[in-house]
Amino acid sequence: MIALALSILSSTIIFVAFKLFSKFKINTLHAIVVNYLVACCCGLLFQENEINIAAIAQHSWFPFALGLGALFITVFNLMALTTQRSGLSVVSVATKMSVVIPVVFGLLYYKESLGILKFLGIVLALMAVYLASIKTKDGLKIKTSNFIFPILVFLGSGIIDTAIKYLEGEHVAKNDTPIFSATIFASAAILGILLLCFHAVQGKFKFQFKNVLGGIGLGIPNYFSVYFLVQALRSDILESSGIFTVNNVAIVMFSTLVGILLFKEKLLPKNWIGIGLAILGILFIALEKW
Domain map (residue ranges) of the chain: 2-18+27-46+56-289
- Look at residue 144 and tell me whether its pLDDT is greater than 90: no
For 198-230, the pLDDT digits (tens) are: 999 998 889 999 999 999 999 999 999 999 999
Which of these, 270, 245, 257, lies nearest to 103 by C-alpha position? 245
HSE (CB half, 13 Å, CA atoms) of 26? Answer: 26
For 87-102, the pLDDT digits (tens) are: 777 888 888 899 999 9
Evaluate whether 33 touches 193 at the Cβ level (below 8 Å): yes
Look up residue 140 and give its DSSP letter: -
The count of residues in the chain is 290
Q: What is the mean pLDDT of residues 29-54?
A: 89
Report pLDDT for 290: 63
For 101-129, the pLDDT digits (tens) are: 999 999 999 999 889 999 999 999 999 98
Buried b (16+ CB within 10 A) or exposed e, 207-226: eeeebbebbbbbbbbbbbbb
